[in-house]
Amino acid sequence: MIEVIEPATEQVMAKVERAGAGDVDEAVARAKDAFGGWRAIAPGKRAEHLHALADAVASHREELALIEARNAGKPIGDARGEMEMVSQVFRYYAGAPERLLGDTIPVDGGHAFTVREPLGVVGLIVPWNFPLTIASWKMGPALAAGNTVVLKPAELTPLSALRFAEIAGEAGLPDGVLNVVAGPGSVCGQRLVEHPDVAKIAFTGSTEVGRSIAAGAAATIKRVTLELGGKSPNIVFADADLEAAAAAAPGAVFGNAGQDCCARSRILVQAPVLDEFMSLLEGAVKAIKVGDPLDASTQMGPLISAGQRETVSSFVNGDAPVAIRGSAPDGPGYWFPPTVLCPVDPGARAAREEIFGPVATVIPFSDEDEAVRLANDTVYGLSGSIWTRDGARALRVARALDTGVLSINSNTSVRVATPFGGFKQSGYGRELGPHALDAYTEVKSIYYANG
């Protein structure tokens, strides 16, 4: 059995049957059997099923948010927003089945055109930081394109996926189209990657695990989408609105207790305004309310586990240049206060490794060229922000950064209608927006001779 721990209390909140390789095989078989019927459903009817999923999530929003808040330790307000996004994802992709368009191509002697075909059974492996949200990013386009899915949630946070599968069945999704297996990645995830009847793996998680998935999938030439780690820059130029930049920075790195691959955990500040920025940042950090995820006023909850807290703590040792430290509760729970290190050498471990916790590093820079060089000096390239009043500079820097998702004078990373994904070792492929459908379909070229 899997004992599911509530990170705010360290108590067991549920026990779930632990799936094994045999359970994965059974789930894949169900998905394979269901694939023919699901792909044959008329596009409009498939769209109706996705609208029904969106409606079902909306009607169960509070229930699912409570599960997510307790299981993942996220503030209830954030969890409600995430469940709203899940509903929006299915609503967005409900428009896709009737818009999977092909091309007609001029050729000699006949007619040529392309169509998009579903891949088949798709394995979806999702992390513990945004359990149902990230699952929806994959399920929406996969189902819209006519695939069937086997979803493996993280062993730490399986509850929202299991409840969602029940809700989907109640909403009329045909049997076998969505299957959930809750078990360890080393067993269930590996079996999905190796299984000959799985056509594609979509994975969100660490870069280390992503490498092993890419290698394992190569044996059967599986299609793979990888959304991996990040060490994203938040670049603040001297001409920026410093009050706005400092007010926004904590949310960009301490949201979800810093357990976010998009976290802008490297704050690059132009040297002449470093002291002013830090003064403004201190008030914003110390104002963050860390506490009970079920309290509506809470802004940051606990870390996911004792192990994660130990890892994060290793970056804030006796030699760390702690400039700002917020507060966190005492007693049970995997708490860690929001912490800012400044100044940090660009080569320091805290500036180079993904901490995945509420620790920000502040690195001074001299000019635009150095800002770009420092921002790009990482194996990652997922997200980032640029703060400046100079529009030409903003666009120059945005084009120069090796990063998949950027925002100017804001810290937005994810929107349902726009593509999301990384450069370099932050992964490949795109989720969300219209581009996600490319990863769940194959282009077929058809030639029809004149006679």
Report yes or no: 67 and 83 within 8 Å, Cβ to Cβ. no
Find the helix or strand (DSSP H, E) in which 232 lies. none
Choose, from 6, 68, 155, 227, the residue flagged as catalytic.
227
| Cβ neighbours of 86 (radius 10 Å) | 29
Helix (H, G, I), strand (E, B) or coil at 269: strand
Whether 155 sits among the annotated catalytic residues: the reply is no
Whether 170 sits among the annotated catalytic residues: the reply is no
Q: d(Cα 221, Cα 219) in Å, to the nearest integer?
A: 6
Q: Structure tokens of 144?
A: 């819209």
Q: d(Cα 83, Cα 85) in Å, to the nearest integer?
A: 5
Residues 6+ apart with CB under 8 A from 75: 69, 293, 295, 298, 299, 300, 301
Report yes or no: 154 and 19 within 8 Å, Cβ to Cβ. no
Q: d(Cα 139, Cα 442) in Å, to the nearest integer?
A: 17
Q: Structure tokens of 256?
A: 């979800």
Q: Structure tokens of 225?
A: 């989408």
Choose, from 188, 261, 262, 342, the residue flagged as catalytic.
261
Helix (H, G, I), strand (E, B) or coil at 138: helix
Any idea what DSSP says for residue 186? I
Q: d(Cα 113, Cα 443) in Å, to the nearest integer?
A: 10
Positions marked active-site: 227, 261
